[in-house]
Amino acid sequence: MSRRLGQMLPPAGAPRDLAMAQLANSVGDGAFVVTSALFFTRVVGLSTAEVGLGLTVAWLLGFLAGVPLGNLADRRGARGVGVVLALTTATAVGSFLFVRGFAAFLIAAIVYACSQTGLTAARQALLAGLVQPAERTRIRAFLQSTVNAGLAVGALLGGIALRFDTKAAYLTVFAIDALSFLIAAALIRRVPSIAVTVRSKGEPRLAVLHDRPYAVLALINSIMLLFMPLISLVGPLWIVTRTNAPSWAVASLMIVNTLGVAFFQVHIAKRVKDLRTATRSVRYAGIAMLAACAVFATTAANLSPAIAALVLVIAAALLTVGEMKLASGAWEISFGLAPADKQGQYQGFFGTGPAVARMLGPALLTTVILGWGPIGWILVGVLFLGTSCAAGPAVRWAARTRAVDVEATPSLVEENAA
pLDDT per residue as tens digits for the range 285-301: 999 999 999 999 999 99
Q: Is the predicted pLDDT of residue 217 greater than 70, yes or no? A: yes
Would you state the pLDDT for residue 322? 97
Q: Which residues of 298-317 are buried (b: 16+ CB within 10 A; e: fewer)?
A: bbbeebeeeebbbbbbbbbb
Whether residue 97 has pLDDT greater than 50: yes
Q: How confident is the model at residue 66 (pLDDT cuts 50, 70, 90)?
A: confident
**Cα distances (Å, whole numbers) of residue 312 to 46, 105, 244, 258, 287:** 34, 37, 11, 15, 18
User: Residue 367 carries which DSSP code?
Assistant: I
pLDDT band at 418 (very low <50, low <70, confident <90, very high): very low
What is residue 201's predicted lDDT score, i.e. its pLDDT? 60
Q: Which domains does the chain show, CATH number per domain?
A: 8-196 (1.20.1250.20), 207-418 (1.20.1250.20)
Considering only CA atoms, give the Rg of the chain: 21
CB atoms within 10 A of CB 382: 15
Closest C-alpha to 370, from 222, 213, 242, 216:
242
pLDDT at 8: 60
pLDDT tens sequence across 240-269:
889 999 877 887 888 888 889 888 888 898
**Of 2-6, 27-31, 334-338, highest mean pLDDT:** 334-338
pLDDT at residue 133 tops 90: no
Cα distances from 332 to residues 135, 229, 414, in angstroms, run 10, 24, 12
Give the residue among 370, 368, 396 at the shortest CA–CA distance from 382: 368
What per-residue confidence (pLDDT) applies to 411? Answer: 38
Helix, strand, coil abundance in the chain, percent, nearest 5: 85, 0, 15
Element at 276 (helix H, strand E): helix 275-298
CB proximity list for 414: less than 8 A, separation 6 or greater: 133, 340
Q: Which range has the top average pLDDT, 129-143, 175-189, 331-345?
A: 175-189
Cα gap 283→260, rounded to integer Å: 20
Spatial CB neighbours of 69, under 8 Å, sequence gap ≥ 6: 81, 85, 114, 117, 118, 121, 122, 348
Q: Are 376 and 368 in contact (CB under 8 A)?
A: yes
* Cα–Cα distance, 283 to 387 (Å, whole number): 9
Q: How far apart are CA 244 and CA 308, in angstroms?
A: 6
For the beta carbon of residue 240, count every other beta carbon within 10 angstroms.
12
Dihedral of CA 8/180/350/253: which sign? positive
The Cα 120–Cα 198 span in angstroms is 21
Residues 6+ apart with CB under 8 A from 384: 223, 224, 226, 227, 285, 286, 289, 290, 293, 322
Is 42's pLDDT higher than 80? yes
Answer for the pair 293, 384: CB distance below 8 angstroms, yes or no. yes
CA gap 350, 195 in Å, rounded: 21
